[in-house]
Homo-oligomer: A and B are copies of this chain.
Amino acid sequence: MTQWLAMRRWLMVGLCWLLTATSGLADLLRGTGDLGIVIERTSGQIQVVDTTAQRSIHTVPGLGDLSHAAAVFSRDGRFAFVFGRDGGLNQVDLLRGVLVKRIVQAGNSIGGAISQDGRLVAVANYEPGGVRVFDSQTLEPIADIPAVSASGQTSRVVGIVDAPGQQFCFSLFDASEIWCADLHQPNQPTVRKFRAGDHPYDGLITPDGRFYLAGLFGEDGLSLLDLWQPQQGVQTILNHYGRGEEKLPVYKMPHLRGWAAAGELLFLPAIGRHELLVVHRRDWREVGRIAVHGQPVFVMARPDGRQVWVNFALPHNDTIQVVDVPSLTVIRTLQPGKGIMHMEFTPKGEHVWLSVRDEQRVDIYDTEQMQQVATLPAQYPSGIFFTARAHRMGF
């Protein structure tokens, strides 16, 4: 009977454990369309957040150096690929809240992209330069694209984006070229190369995947490649865009990805000036300027294109301004707190999430009333990325 009692106790313990494990799994069973991540840079970790409940559901540590970290998502929305400055490529399971795999694929990298079909993740590297391509499920290496220009020069690579036709487009900083690699045959990329302006330092693709634009460090203007007409090569547009004749001090080089496209208008952070430039996509000409509170960093359009939200470089990085697109005027100045690093809109634009780094918070604002509706604690938050990016080109 002693044996029987011991057995029964063991059985009960086992059952309880299994039931707990099972119900734990049931808790994990959920959609991924309303998930996202918040980068906590100094601690090398991310929070997984739920934009419906407006709460954090996991903290995932061990992601390495997350300075200037960026992220893309698997096409099912379950996995985040987080690119660290240390060359780390981190695959995080948002449902279980675990770091599935981490590889250090280069010495220094500056962002990545996921292919149109979701099967490939590409990372743009500073050191040793070039682009490396991995299988998005296993992170096994698939292809290596050394960035060696016609003159034999090895180059740092920046501004990588996915483009239609299973392509990745990116800029060679040192070689002043723009390349588009076709990965239909994943281990045998076909690369088209274009002469660009002087030292492209960042790139973006328009939301329809048609135009690749690179900002230039070495001269004023921007390099534009029309992927519908690549045979035309790279044109220079907005040749007054840059530091300009006055060579103002630039406190923070604005992110090109911080451009906003609202309908046919693009809103660009002027470099070194307290202004936004308004550019019409028809002819890439400036059609207006909007005076703002400081040097703009991110200039982001609400998904319906009716508002543009702007944050600023030091000493104005405690402020957000909201531009009304129909009237091209600033309609609200907010001061959420010190160190506004990034903004991310919910997919249908009802809310925007702000990283308030120096106050250890992520604030959630209603975009209609432009008022705070919730706040979450976070350790020095920087980038915020939601899974809806999985379904958009160039994100």
Chain A interface residues (CB < 8 Å from chain B): 3-4, 7-8, 11, 14-15, 18-19, 21-22, 25-26, 28-35, 51-52, 73-79, 94-96, 116-118, 162, 164-166, 208-210, 228-229, 263-264, 303-306, 326, 347-350, 368, 387-388, 390-393
Contacts and interface: CB of A to CB of B under 8 A. Distances in A.
Contacts of A305: 208, 210
Given A18-B19, A32-B77, 4 more contacts: A29-B29, A29-B95, A29-B96, A164-B306
Given A76-B33, A95-B29, A349-B116, A391 B391 contact: yes
A8 B7 CA distance: 8
14 contacts: A30-B76, A31-B32, A31-B74, A32-B76, A33-B33, A33-B78, A35-B76, A75-B347, A118-B348, A162-B348, A210-B304, A210-B305, A347-B391, A388-B391
Contacts of A29: 25, 28-29, 95-96
Nearest to A305: B208
Contacts of A164: 304, 306, 348-350
A21 B26 CA distance: 11
A392 B96 CA distance: 27
A44 B11 CA distance: 45
A24 to B, nearest CB: 10
B348 A393 contact: yes
Contacts of A21: 22
For the complex formed by this chain, how many copies does it contain in all?
2
Contacts of A264: 264
A11 B8 CA distance: 9
Contacts of A18: 15, 18-19, 22
Contacts of A51: 75
Contacts of A75: 33-34, 51-52, 347-348
A21 B25 CA distance: 11
B15 A350 contact: no
A57 to B, nearest CB: 12
Contacts of A347: 75, 390-392
